[in-house]
């Protein structure tokens, strides 16, 4: 599975660096081409000679080498299919999260377009430190992938057991294999994702909308593109930037979103409708700002049910819809699937603090036409996106 893959392994100065040679060995045994870049601190824990011997390639460390190497950080950044940093220290994670580049490895990460997998390793207190956690959340949002850390024996007897141990080389290799497998999953497919919230004008300064941040839609669009799909992301207003690896089409109202989706629908293989579309719009939009003069009654008209419309117009396309509920939740997932002619229904709740609107995590239930139901436990929106897209890839 890794045969012919080109992998750059970064090593930083943590005690778990003693395991990196095992990782390099497993990668070369799987016939991947490997080059290693070490930080200065990493040299304290493992020798370049070991890594050079096991990778079969010279190890790079110096940003300003004695022998002329020109822009070798750019050359290294362009070389691999994947960069894996194992172990990734707290210091290194902090530098990368802040876009700093005082050493060769950080420069490589800033200059690369390749996916980066980090395997953090550190003492439990360091791992739990809010700054380290914030840095990791930031990196995850920027598209960095993580493996571990894990719970278990730490470096010294005095530290005992706890969270922060680097994942074993076997686990890191499995994650690398999963990343490469994912890249092929949607190759050649055209996927349309909708995300964000629509806004329905009341007057020139006011509108009706909702609390959707667009994070779930953006995670789906970005991840689908990483899986090899050509992605069109039709999005309403969002609290974050739309992804950089997708074709982005803005749409502000429900009717506009319906129109934009209709334009790209005939040529696509699947639509994932994750946008939070306003169910209603004001019957009349005032051309002037409405003055505060006593009571105001707004008459609302129902907006088109975009998803149901796509379901009716469906030919070869697969359709994934989201349902968001409060209170008792979804009464009948199968019925909703049939009504809207969906292939997958993703149900999430709007009244949980760690799932649904505006947060970085989600907890969903997937419904399928066969009547099967699958719970996806609390995970980052990126991870939930991967689960949904793997299911979609299975039926495309």
Ligand X SMILES: Cc1cc2nc3c(=O)[nH]c(=O)nc-3n(C[C@H](O)[C@H](O)[C@H](O)COP(=O)(O)O)c2cc1C
Among 9, 12, 343, 349, indicate the residue that binds ligand X (CB under 6 A). 12
Provide the 8-state DSSP code for 33. E
Q: For the segment 30-69, give every residue that binds ligand X (CB under 6 A).
A: 39, 41-42
Min CB(160)–ligand X separation in Å? 15
- What is the spatial order of strands in the sheet that 33-38 belongs to? 33-38, 6-11, 82-88, 115-120, 145-146
Residue 122 binds ligand X (CB under 6 A): yes
Min CB(90)–ligand X separation in Å? 4
Contact stretch for ligand X (CB under 6 A) within 56-64, 85-93, 107-115, 248-256: 85-93
Distance CA 89, CA 11 (A): 9
Provide the 8-state DSSP code for 159. T
Residue 15 binds ligand X (CB under 6 A): yes
**Is 333:345 a contact under the CB 8 Å cutoff?**
yes
Q: Which lies closer to ligand X via its Cβ, residue 132 or residue 270?
A: 132
Is 57 annotated in the active site?
no
Provide the 8-state DSSP code for 104. H
Of the candidates 210, 245, 248, 341, the residue annotated as catalytic is: 210
Q: Which lies closer to ligand X via its Cβ, residue 12 or residue 253?
A: 12
Q: For the segment 287-316, give every residue that binds ligand X (CB under 6 A).
A: none
Among 89, 135, 212, 278, indicate the residue that binds ligand X (CB under 6 A). 89
- Read off the tokens for 309: 């419309």
Among 121, 139, 337, 396, indicate the residue that binds ligand X (CB under 6 A). 121
Q: Cα dihedral sign for 179, 180, 184, 190?
A: positive
Q: Which lies closer to ligand X via its Cβ, residue 89 or residue 252?
A: 89
Residue 14 binds ligand X (CB under 6 A): yes
Q: For the segment 311-350, give every residue that binds ligand X (CB under 6 A).
A: none
Residue 90 binds ligand X (CB under 6 A): yes
Q: Which lies closer to ligand X via its Cβ, residue 155 or residue 201?
A: 155
Min CB(84)–ligand X separation in Å? 15
Return the beta strands (E) in the chain as ranges.
6-11, 33-38, 82-88, 115-120, 145-146, 150-153, 161-165, 190-195, 200-201, 207-208, 230-235, 247-250, 270-273, 280-282, 300-302, 318-325, 344-349, 361-367, 373-380
Question: How many residues bind to ligand X according to rule CB under 6 A?
Answer: 15
Sequential DSSP letters for 303-334: PP-HHHHHHHT-SS-EEEEEEEE-TT--S-HH
Closest CA to 87 of 149, 180, 173: 149
Q: Which lies closer to ligand X via its Cβ, residue 165 or residue 189?
A: 165
Residues designated as active site: 210
> Where on the chain is the footprint of ligand X (CB under 6 A)?
12-16, 39, 41-42, 89-92, 121-122, 126
């Amino acid at each position: 599975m890794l045969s012919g893959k080109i992998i750059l392994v970064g090593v930083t100065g943590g005690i778990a660096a003693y395991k990196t040679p095992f990782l390099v060995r497993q990668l070369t045994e799987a016939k991947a081409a490997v080059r290693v870049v070490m930080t200065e601190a990493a040299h304290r824990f493992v020798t370049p000679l070991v890594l050079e011997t096991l990778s079969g390639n010279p190890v790079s460390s110096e940003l300003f080498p004695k022998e002329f190497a020109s822009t070798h950080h750019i050359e290294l950044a362009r070389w691999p299919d994947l960069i894996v940093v194992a172990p990734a220290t707290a210091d290194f994670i902090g530098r990368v999260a802040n876009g700093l580049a005082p050493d060769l490895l950080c420069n490589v990460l800033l200059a690369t377009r390749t996916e980066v997998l980090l395997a953090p390793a550190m003492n439990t207190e360091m791992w739990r430190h809010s700054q380290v956690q914030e840095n990791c959340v930031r990196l995850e949002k920027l598209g960095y992938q993580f493996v571990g850390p894990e719970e278990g024996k730490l470096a010294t007897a005095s530290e005992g057991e706890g969270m922060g141990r680097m994942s074993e080389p076997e686990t890191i290799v499995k994650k690398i294999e999963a990343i490469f497998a994912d890249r092929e999953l949607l190759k050649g497919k055209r996927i349309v994702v909708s995300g964000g919230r629509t806004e329905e004008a009341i007057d020139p300064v006011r509108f009706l909308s909702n609390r959707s941040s667009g994070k779930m839609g953006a995670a789906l669009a970005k991840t689908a593109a990483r899986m090899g799909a050509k992605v069109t992301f039709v999005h309403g207003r969002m609290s974050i930037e739309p992804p950089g690896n997708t074709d982005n089409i803005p749409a502000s109202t429900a009717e506009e979103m319906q129109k934009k989706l209709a334009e790209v629908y005939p040529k696509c293989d699947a639509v994932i409708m994750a946008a939070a579309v306003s169910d209603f719009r004001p019957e009349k939009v005032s051309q002037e700002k409405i003055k505060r003069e006593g009571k105001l009654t707004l008459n609302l008209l129902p907006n088109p049910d975009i998803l149901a419309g796509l379901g009716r117009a469906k030919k070869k396309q697969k359709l994934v819809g989201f349902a968001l509920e409060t209170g008792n939740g979804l009464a009948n997932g199968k019925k909703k699937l049939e009504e809207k002619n969906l292939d997958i229904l993703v149900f999430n709740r709007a009244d949980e603090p760690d799932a649904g609107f505006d947060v970085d995590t989600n907890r969903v239930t997937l419904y399928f036409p066969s009547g099967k139901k699958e719970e996806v436990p609390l995970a980052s929106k990126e991870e939930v996106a991967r689960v949904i897209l793997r299911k979609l890839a299975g039926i495309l």
